[in-house]
Amino acid sequence: MPLLLARASPPALRHHHHRGLSPPRPTTRPRRLRLRLRGSRSHPPQQQQQVNLSVLRFTLGIPGLDESYLPRWIGLGFGALVLLNHVLSPSPTPAQLRSEVLGLCLAAFSATLPYLGRFLEGAGAAERVPLPEGSRQVFAMSDSLSAAQKEDMAWASYVLLRNTNTTSVLIAIGSQLCIRGYWDPPEKISKYAMIEWFKSQMQEAGIIDLREALYIPIFSDTRLGKILPQGILSVLAQPVLNNPDPTTGEIKAEGFILLASNANYAYSEKDRIWIRTVANKFQCA
């Protein structure tokens, strides 16, 4: 399935200050993983930009505008113009009346497209619930990540939150973590302690060596309940698998991307394909 491109430029990596969190410090530790998301350093800047934008969807980049409702507003706008043309016409001819009726039918169809699309994708039953007051926004990464890795994880977590029905994102590649969105970690702990807490919860949940995608459209699994915030209704865990070994054919799990939503049936088949494409960008070269 072809991927759509986004026009929005990649956001700058910002360090969010939260209770008990300090901004990530630069490190001189050598980079251990080479992510495909960035491409080769020898490539020109324009080609690197094209590689980065290859995982995005179309968006106008207007804050507060839901592009999925764009056909609705277009249909209502053109329908209003047809009615205005009818009112201003002194004596409409039969041909004009037929054209206006056809135009109103097309405008009505365009206005109902967003609802029809959500119904066909199974998202009609997706009802959001408000997040509990205890949930708070978190943005934390492992200190051992290089600047390039931090940029890659920040960018991936941003597009996943921006382009899917997601409230919480956890990216785990090896021992490196990126936590973003709404979570319920213990209060008044340092960033290092928070990272370790997430690692321990991952061990208890048994999702460290994930080999296949795990999608729970109606979440009720108590095994993952401790790591996930309250009010979560859908969960998707997408593994990051290495390329098969040329000699043995063995496929190793490099990590996973854990997504949580406060809506039932939050991820359609198209969403899951796109999320798998984003996860593949973190495969080791």
Least confident among 49-53, 54-58, 204-208, 269-273? 49-53
Do 150 and 46 reside in the same domain of the chain?
Answer: no
* pLDDT of 142: 92
Do 135 and 264 reside in the same domain of the chain?
Answer: yes
Average pLDDT over residues 13-37: 44
Helices 94-120 and 70-88 meet at what angle, rounded to 10? Answer: 170
Do 260 and 187 reside in the same domain of the chain?
Answer: yes
Beta strands in 8-91 (DSSP E): none
Do 97 and 196 reside in the same domain of the chain?
Answer: no
CA 34 to CA 147: how far, in whole Å?
A: 12
CATH code, 212:
3.30.450
* pLDDT of 66: 62
Least confident among 12-26, 85-99, 188-202? 12-26
**Average pLDDT of the residues of the chain:** 75
The answer to whether position 1 is within a domain reads no
Instruction: Give the SS3 label for residue 100.
Output: helix
Final residue of a structural domain among 79, 99, 120? 120
Angle, CA of 162, 285 and 37, to the nearest 5°: 20
Longest dimension (CA), the chain: 81
The answer to whether position 256 is within a domain reads yes
Q: What percent of the chain is modeled with pLDDT above 90?
A: 26
Average pLDDT over residues 271-283: 90
Final residue of a structural domain among 71, 99, 120? 120
DSSP letter for each residue of 146-198: -HHHHHHHHHHHHHHHHHSS-SEEEEEETTEEEEEEEE-PPSS--HHHHHHHH
Task: Report the DSSP pairing between strands 253-261 and 168-173.
Answer: antiparallel
Q: What's the token pair of residue 146?
A: 């290089």
Q: What percent of the chain is modeled with pLDDT above 70?
A: 66
Angle, CA of 256, 176 and 170, to the nearest 5°: 45
CA distances from 207 to 91, 93, 236 (A): 71, 69, 11
Do 148 and 103 reside in the same domain of the chain?
Answer: no
In this model, does residue 12 exceed pLDDT 60?
A: no
The answer to whether position 2 is within a domain reads no
> Can you give the residue range of the structural domain that contains 161?
128-280
Do 110 and 152 reside in the same domain of the chain?
Answer: no
**Bridge partner list, 258:** 170, 237
Find how far residue 61's CA is from the centre of its chain. Answer: 15
Do 135 and 224 reside in the same domain of the chain?
Answer: yes
The answer to whether position 84 is within a domain reads yes
- The predicted-structure confidence for 101-156, as pLDDT tens digits, reads as follows 999 999 998 888 877 776 665 544 445 566 666 678 899 999 999 899 899 999 99
In this model, does residue 206 exceed pLDDT 70?
A: yes
* pLDDT of 273: 92
* pLDDT of 259: 95
Final residue of a structural domain among 68, 90, 120? 120
- The predicted-structure confidence for 26-70, as pLDDT tens digits, reads as follows 444 444 444 444 443 444 444 443 334 444 455 555 555 566 678
* pLDDT of 221: 63
Answering whether pTM is above 0.85, one says: no
Residues making up the chain, counted from first to last:
285
